[in-house]
Structure 1
Amino acid sequence: MLASACPGWICYAEKTHGSFIIPHISTTKSPQQVMGSLVKGYFAEQKHLPPDRIYHVTVMPCYDKKLEASRPDFFNQEYQTRDVDCVITTGEVLKLLEQEGVSLPDVDPSPLDTVLGGAEEELGTHGGGGSGGFLEHTFRHAARELFGIHVGSIRYKPLKNKDFQEVTLERDGEVLLQFALAYGFRNIQNLVQKLKRGKCPYHYVEVMACPSGCLNGGGQIKLEGESSKEELQQVERLYQSPRAEIPEENQAVRELYQRWLGGWASGRAQEVLHTRYHAVERENSALNIKW
C-alpha cells in the first residue's frame, strides 16, 4: 500500500502511471481533505449551518494542496461548495502579515479551539516525523493488530539516501512487516520501477514528492541568512516540540466515530474519510507518436 496524503505524488501517479499504480494507493483522504469533510459536515451540523455558509481556509507547506482542494471529488454538488475553500501556504501567510504590518510576537495569544468542540489547553502533534507520521502509525497498528506485538521505538535503515529508508519487524528471524519511506521524485521513480518489475518487498510506503518531506515543502517560509539544511533542522525541532498524541486514544476522536461516523468501519466513515483516484488518459498528438 502507498500513502495518499501528498497531492504532488497523487497527481504524478494519476498522470504518469494511471491504472497500474492507482490500485496500490490508500483510499484514505489527506489530512487536509479529512478536515474539509469534518468542517463542512460534522462542524456544520453542530452549528446548524448549511455547508455553503462556512468558508474553510487551510494553511499548508505545499502549493499542490491548492490543486488538491480543487479536485471535483471534493466538491459538494448539492450545496455547490468545496470541502476546502481556500489554501494558503505558510510563505503566503508571512507575506500577508507583512503587508498588514503585523508582527506575530506582538499579537496577544488566544486559546486553541477545535472542530470537534471545546478548547484545547495545548498544541498537540503526532509521532513519526514531519510528513504526517503515516509510516510509524500504520507500522505500530499493524504490528499490534496482526501479530500482537507492541512496538516501542522504531529504527530506520537508510538505503541509497536519507530520503529512502526502511523499517522492518522481525520475530524469530522471520520478517513480518517491511515498510519504507520514499521522499522526492528520484526515489518515487525507483519505487515505481520496483513495483513494475515485481520486486518491491514493502507492505506499506510513505510517499512524499518533496525531498525531506512536507516540512521542506515548496510553500514553506524561507529564512534569510540561513542554509536550507539549518532552516529545515530548526523547523523539525519546532514541529516535534509539542506533545505527541496517539489518535485512537484521543477522546474527541473516539466520540466522533461513535456519535457521528457510526463506528470505525461504517459506511459513513468510508464515505467521509475515503476517496477515489482517476487515471488520466494521455492525448495522442504528433508530438508523442513513436515513429
Structure 2
Amino acid sequence: MALSGALTLSDLNDFISPSQACIKPIEVAKTSDTAGAIKVDDTGAYYEVSVDGNETKLETATINLNDCLACSGCITSAESVLVTLQSQEELYNVLKQNKAAIEANDASTHRTVVVSISPQTRASFAAKYNQTPLQVAKKLTWFFKNLGVHFVFDTSFSRDLSLLESAREFVDRYKKAVAKGTIKMPSLDGSQSTASNTAATTGDGDMDLDAPQTKAPRKRIVRRGANSDEAAAPVEKESAIPMLASACPGWICYAEKTHGYILPYISDTKSPQQIMGSMVKNHLGSQLGLKPNQIYHVCVMPCYDKKLEASRSDFYSDLYSTRDVDCVITSTEVEKMFTEQGQTDMNVFGEMSLDNGYNSVVKDPVTGQDQALVGSSGNASGGFLEYIMRYAARELFGIAGVDVSRSLGVEVKTVRNSDFREVTLEVPGSDQPLLRFAAAYGFRNIQNLVRKVKTSKSPYHFVEVMACPSGCINGGGQLKQPASVPLKDWILHADQQYKNGVLERSPEENPALAQLYQEWLGGPDTLKARQQLRTQYHAVEQNLGNPLAVKW
C-alpha cells in the first residue's frame, strides 16, 4: 500500500490492531467546522478541498521515534507498559523511597542507586553547552549525586568488554565457517587455508583470552522464524557469516519482528548497556554485599529503543525479580530533569570527581584528580567495525597496525550513500580480500542488507548495523539542535565532541578487563561468562487472527 512517493507501508498485519492508526501521512490543521474532503493527485500530493471547491495543499507529516513509542501500532501492549514505566519519574520515586527509608531507619526498603551514562549522551551535552566531555561527565556526576544517586559510571567501560567479546565471537565464527567449508580463508600467497593453520599470533603482550579453559559449548541450530516468508535450511549459528552487530535495539526489534531468518547471523554479545547491567547487578553487588534487587540501575542513553532493550525478558532475573537495567532515560529526559530541579543551564553546575570503578578515566596518581576520559577508537556508534577489523586482522592473519579510522592497512569507501561504508583488508599476493566489513545505518540500508543475506549474496564477513541514520550520535533521544543550525552540521559537531579530549585505548589495554574476567567470570570461556556477556534472540510469531496474541 503506497500513501505517497516518500512513504510506503508493508507488513500491515501488525501486533496491535489497527496498526494503520500509527501512520500520519499528512498533517491537517483544523481551521473551521466546515466539512471538506481530501484529494490525492497523481504525484501523491494531498490537497484539502473545501465545500466551495478551493484546494489547499497539505504538508507532509514527519514521524519520529517519540511518535512511534507513543502509539500502539508496532510495539506490543506489554512493551508499551514497560516503556511508560521507564522515565525520570521512576528515578524520582526510588530516591524519595530511599529518603523515607533513611528517615524511618528502615534499611529493608533502601536501594543503592547507580546511574550509567553513555559517551554519546556526553557528546550531545558537550555540543549544546560548549563543554568538553570530561566537564560534562563531572557536571552530570555532580547533578545526579545531589539528587541522591550513589554511583555514576561510564558505559565506555562496559563497551570495552562488549567490543572484546564481539571480536572474540567473530574470530570463532570465522574459524568454524572455514572448517565447515562455508567460506574459504585466503592466504597471503594466494592459496586457500583452513582453520587448522590460522593460530593467532599476538606476540605483543596482548591479553591472552583465547586459551581454552572449559569444554566447548554444544552447537546450536537456529531455524528461521515463523514469520519468515521463505522456508530455508537450518543455519548453524556458531558458523553463520556475515556476523551482524547487535548493539542497536531498534535493529534487533526489527529483525525479530519481521525477519526471523536473519537471527542466526546476529552477534550473541550483549550491548554495552546490558553488559553494564550485568556488572552493576552482579559484580558490583557482590563487592558491596548487596543482592541484585537491592540495586536500582539507571542508564542514560541516546536512544528511546534502549528502553525496550532493558525490558527484554532475557535480562530479567526470576530469582530476584529485577532487571539488569531497571530504567533507561534519554539525553532529552535528563535535560528535562534540569528544569524540574530548578536548573536551566548546565554551565552553572558544580563538578564532582568521577567514581573509581566502572569509569574510563585517567586520574592524577598524586592528587587523584580526573585528567582525561579514555575510550576505544572508532566512530560514535561504538567502534565495533573498527575494533573487530583490527582484532581479526591480527588474530586470523597476523597483520598488526590496522586502523580503520585512519585508513591504515585497509581500504575504506562510501557506497551508495553516506550511511553505508565498506572496509576491506587486502594484501599483495592474495587472490581475494582477506576481510570485507561494512557499516549499514538507517532502515533503507538495513533492508538492502537483509535481502542480500537472505539470498546468500552478501559479500561481507561482518556488518555494523544501526537503525538511525548517522548512527547513535543521531539517536532519537539526543538533544535537539538550535533552530539556526542544520541537522547535518549539528550531527558533525556532536561527533567531533564525542572524541574531544578523549584518549584512545584498545579494549585489551584496559587493565581492569583481565581482572574482571578472572575475578568475576572465572575466565573468558566459562559458562558464567556466557551467561553474563551473551544473550539470545527470538523470532516473533504473528497471530493474524488475533493481533494481540503475540508469542515471544
TM-score, with length taken from structure 2: 0.50
Instruction: Provide the rounded CA distance (Å) in 2 between the counterparts of 1:114 and 1:6.
Output: 28
Instruction: Provide the rounded CA distance (Å) in 1 between the counterparts of 2:339 and 2:373.
Output: 25
The one-letter code matched in structure 2 to 1:163 is D
> Do residues 208 (structure 1) and 466 (structure 2) align?
yes
Q: Structure 1: where are the runs of 5+ without partners?
A: none
Instruction: Name 1:79's counterpart in structure 2.
Output: 320
> Do residues 275 (structure 1) and 543 (structure 2) align?
no
Instruction: Name 1:29's counterpart in structure 2.
Output: 270
Out of 374, 380, 394, which is 1:124 matched to?
374
Instruction: Provide the rounded CA distance (Å) in 1 between the counterparts of 2:462 and 2:401.
Output: 16
Could you say what secondary structure the match of 1:29 adopts?
coil
The one-letter code matched in structure 2 to 1:8 is G
Q: Compared with structure 1, are the counterparts of its residues 81 and 233 closer, same or farther at alpha carbon in structure 2 (3 Å cutoff)?
A: same
Instruction: Provide the rounded CA distance (Å) in 2 between the counterparts of 1:49 and 1:286.
Output: 44
1:86-235 map, 5 Å = 86-102=327-343, 103-116=345-358, 120-121=362-363, 122-154=372-404, 155=407, 156-172=412-428, 173=430, 174-224=432-482, 225-235=484-494
Instruction: Provide the rounded CA distance (Å) in 2 between the counterparts of 1:286 and 1:113.
Output: 50
Instruction: Provide the rounded CA distance (Å) in 2 between the counterparts of 1:259 and 1:117.
Output: 18
Question: Can you list the C-alpha shifts for 1:171-200, whole angstroms capped at 9, x where unaligned?
Answer: 224311000000000000000111112110
Could you say what secondary structure the match of 2:259 adopts?
helix
1:261 deviates by 1.2
Contact 1:112 1:120 in 2 (8 A): no
The alignment covers a number of residue pairs equal to 286
Work out the percentage of aligned pairs sharing the same amino acid: 55
Contact 1:112 1:123 in 2 (8 A): no
Instruction: Name 2:526's counterpart in structure 1.
Output: 266
The one-letter code matched in structure 1 to 2:459 is P
1:42 deviates by 0.2
Instruction: Name 1:56's counterpart in structure 2.
Output: 297
Q: Structure 2: where are the runs of 5+ without partners?
A: 1-242, 364-371, 548-552
Instruction: Provide the rounded CA distance (Å) in 1 between the counterparts of 2:263 and 2:389.
Output: 21
Could you say what secondary structure the match of 1:175 adopts?
coil
Contact 2:361 2:373 in 1 (8 A): no
Contact 2:390 2:403 in 1 (8 A): no
Instruction: Provide the rounded CA distance (Å) in 2 between the counterparts of 1:281 and 1:193.
Output: 20
Instruction: Provide the rounded CA distance (Å) in 2 between the counterparts of 1:245 and 1:264.
Output: 20
Q: Compared with structure 1, are the counterparts of its residues 255 and 143 closer, same or farther at alpha carbon in structure 2 (3 Å cutoff)?
A: same
Q: Compared with structure 1, are the counterparts of its residues 117 and 214 closer, same or farther at alpha carbon in structure 2 (3 Å cutoff)?
A: closer
Contact 2:360 2:375 in 1 (8 A): no
Question: Can you list the C-alpha shifts for 1:103-125, whole angstroms capped at 9, x where unaligned?
Answer: 32212211112544897523222
Runs in 1 of length 4+ with deviation above 2 angstroms? 114-122, 284-287
The one-letter code matched in structure 2 to 1:215 is I
1:270 deviates by 0.8
The one-letter code matched in structure 2 to 1:23 is P
Instruction: Provide the rounded CA distance (Å) in 2 between the counterparts of 1:113 and 1:138.
Output: 29
The one-letter code matched in structure 1 to 2:315 is F
1:98 deviates by 1.8
TM-score, with length taken from structure 1: 0.94
Could you say what secondary structure the match of 1:78 adopts?
coil
